[in-house]
């Protein structure tokens, strides 16, 4: 799956409904003077102070004392920007607005080079999302969103690699390289540790942040990787990449095998075609391989589970207020043969939904390693100018109530060796 930050594929899946939330942008009618106000309520509350003469000194003293107390309270609570705002209120505080005004003035008067307004806007909103401390939150420009839509439809602009987390405290690692991609032609390989992207050290960055650095607006990308003891540098031109398709074959003992690399809009049709083809070949058993599958669209994985399970609760979501949605399958499976599912530590999110649902209802034996453990949902909020924000809004649980975030799916049969996992699945289904 092309990652949500419009770079290469990551385990940062899109786990979201196809319906995006559309938000109109406000009119851009702020003047230089307007920046000093919190909002319209402040303007309405500003009044001229009329001077009043008091004959009695004590009455005057009481009035002045009251004004002083009021001023103290206003300053203490940040009305005049003297105290830091908390939470999201900092975004609209006078302190923030004044600081932005001063930065603008410095840039206008002192900065040596021309300013790219589009880039400044992008980094401004990207910074807000970064401030949440959530690796899945993101801001996308209109151009970014065009690339994301292409990736969900089966293609995206990039170099053709899947990036995942390395060992704890290590660098991000290349999980796979797409056949025929710029990355493969340049010589990148699976298990290469990514040390630098575009000359910037990625130590301390998550694999998601590293993938975000490979943006579609770049004509070429330079990666420095470590392969064994050797440090190597690769430069490649970005190109349109076809996301990895569903592949299938018939194995021994009439055992069908389907590899699902990710869950995009094209995945459901590809999966159903694979099942139909294998059924025509006399399939009696089926192995589903979601190893290294970083996730994808919730609708897609639910549609595939609907093909495999009778009527039941597949997965449900909960937001911060305890509200959410439930996703059900309906009667009418396209196959009812015995199933096995292969998973590993890089099976995440939507692939965990699949494994968890099939495990909950005893519909498949899960074989391999404990999965990644991503059980939260991101929603994309579109604006009228084509840009968008992505926020973590819900957690999800399997139909059987498994909360997998940070925990993962425990396989029914633990097999660490990846070559042996497939052999064990064939044996289990045969027996």
Of 227, 242, 257, the last residue of a domain is 242
- Number of domains forming the structure of the chain: 2
Q: Does 182 fall in a domain?
A: yes
Question: Would you state the pLDDT for residue 75?
Answer: 40
Is 383 found in the same domain as 317?
A: yes
pLDDT at 23 over 90: no
Q: Does 234 fall in a domain?
A: yes
Is 404 found in the same domain as 321?
A: yes
Residues of the domain holding 276: 247-430
Q: Does 63 fall in a domain?
A: no
pTM: 0.67
Is 283 found in the same domain as 392?
A: yes
Question: Would you state the pLDDT for residue 375?
Answer: 93
**Residues labelled as active-site residues:** 349, 360, 374
Of 242, 272, 302, the last residue of a domain is 242
CATH number of the domain that 238 lies in? 2.30.42.10
Is 339 found in the same domain as 221?
A: no
CATH number of the domain that 319 lies in? 3.90.226.10
Q: What is the mean pLDDT of residues 177-186?
A: 92
Q: Which two tokens stand for residue 297?
A: 């669209």
Q: Which of 237, 231, 371 is nearest to 292 (CA)?
A: 371
Is 387 found in the same domain as 347?
A: yes
What is the rounded end-to-end Cα distance, in angstroms, of the chain? 35
Is 339 found in the same domain as 218?
A: no
Q: Does 160 fall in a domain?
A: yes
Question: Would you state the pLDDT for residue 308?
Answer: 97
Q: What is the mean pLDDT of residues 218-224?
A: 94
Question: Would you state the pLDDT for residue 86?
Answer: 65
Q: Who contacts 92 (Cβ-Cβ below 8 Å, separation ≥6)?
A: 38, 39, 85
Q: Does 23 fall in a domain?
A: no
Is 253 found in the same domain as 189?
A: no
**In the chain, what percentage of residues exceed pLDDT 70?**
78
Is 417 found in the same domain as 294?
A: yes
Q: Does 94 fall in a domain?
A: no
Q: Does 322 fall in a domain?
A: yes
pLDDT at 379 over 60: yes
Higher pLDDT, 57 or 316: 316
Length of the chain: 431
Higher pLDDT, 189 or 168: 189
Question: Would you state the pLDDT for residue 4?
Answer: 33
Is 224 found in the same domain as 261?
A: no
Contact 378, 136 (CB under 8 A): yes
Is 387 found in the same domain as 423?
A: yes
Is 286 found in the same domain as 215?
A: no
Q: Which of 365, 354, 359 is nearest to 431 (CA)?
A: 365
Of 207, 242, 277, the last residue of a domain is 242
Q: Does 66 fall in a domain?
A: no
Is 272 found in the same domain as 180?
A: no
Give the phi and the psi of residue 173 in degrees, each rounded to 5. Answer: -125, 150
Contact 390, 140 (CB under 8 A): yes
Q: What is the mean pLDDT of residues 229-238?
A: 96
């Amino acid at each position: 799956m092309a990652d949500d930050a419009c770079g290469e594929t990551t385990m940062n899946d899109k786990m979201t409904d196809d319906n995006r939330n559309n938000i109109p942008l406000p009119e851009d009618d702020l003047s230089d003077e307007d920046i000093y106000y919190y909002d319209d309520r402040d303007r309405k509350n500003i009044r001229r102070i009329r001077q009043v003469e008091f004959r009695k000194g004590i009455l005057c003293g009481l009035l002045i004392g009251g004004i002083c107390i009021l001023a103290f309270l206003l300053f203490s609570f940040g009305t005049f920007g003297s105290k830091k705002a908390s939470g999201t209120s900092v975004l609209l505080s006078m302190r923030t607005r004044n600081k932005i005004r001063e930065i603008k003035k410095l840039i206008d008067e002192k900065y040596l080079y021309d300013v790219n307004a589009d880039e400044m806007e992008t980094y401004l909103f990207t910074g807000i999302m970064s401030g949440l401390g959530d690796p899945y939150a993101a801001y996308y420009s209109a151009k970014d969103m065009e690339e994301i839509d292409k990736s969900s439809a089966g293609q995206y602009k990039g170099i053709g690699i899947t990036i995942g987390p390395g060992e704890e405290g290590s660098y991000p690692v290349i999980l796979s390289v797409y056949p025929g991609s710029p990355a493969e032609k340049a010589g990148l390989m699976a298990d290469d540790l990514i040390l630098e992207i575009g000359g910037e050290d990625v130590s301390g960055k998550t694999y998601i942040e590293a993938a975000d650095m490979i943006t579609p607006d770049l004509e070429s990308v330079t990666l420095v990787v470590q392969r064994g003891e050797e440090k190597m540098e690769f430069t490649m031109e970005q190109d349109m990449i076809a996301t990895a398709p569903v592949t299938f074959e018939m194995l021994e003992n009439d055992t069908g095998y389907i590899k699902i690399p990710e869950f995009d809009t094209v995945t459901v049709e590809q999966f159903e075609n694979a099942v139909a083809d294998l059924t025509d070949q006399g399939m009696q058993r089926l192995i589903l391989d979601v190893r290294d599958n970083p996730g994808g669209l919730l609708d897609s994985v639910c549609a595939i589970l609907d093909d495999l399970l009778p009527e039941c609760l597949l997965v449900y979501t909960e937001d911060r207020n305890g509200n959410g949605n439930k996703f059900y399958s309906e009667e009418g499976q396209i196959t009812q043969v015995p199933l096995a599912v292969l998973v590993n530590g890089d099976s995440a999110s939507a692939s965990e939904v699949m494994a968890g649902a099939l495990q909950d209802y005893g519909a498949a034996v899960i074989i391999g390693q404990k999965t990644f453990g991503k059980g939260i949902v991101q929603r994309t909020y579109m604006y009228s100018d084509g840009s968008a924000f992505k926020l973590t809004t819900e957690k999800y649980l399997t139909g059987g109530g498994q909360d997998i975030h940070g925990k993962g799916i425990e396989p029914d049969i633990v097999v660490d060796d990846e070559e042996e996992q497939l052999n064990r699945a064939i044996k289990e289904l045969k027996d």
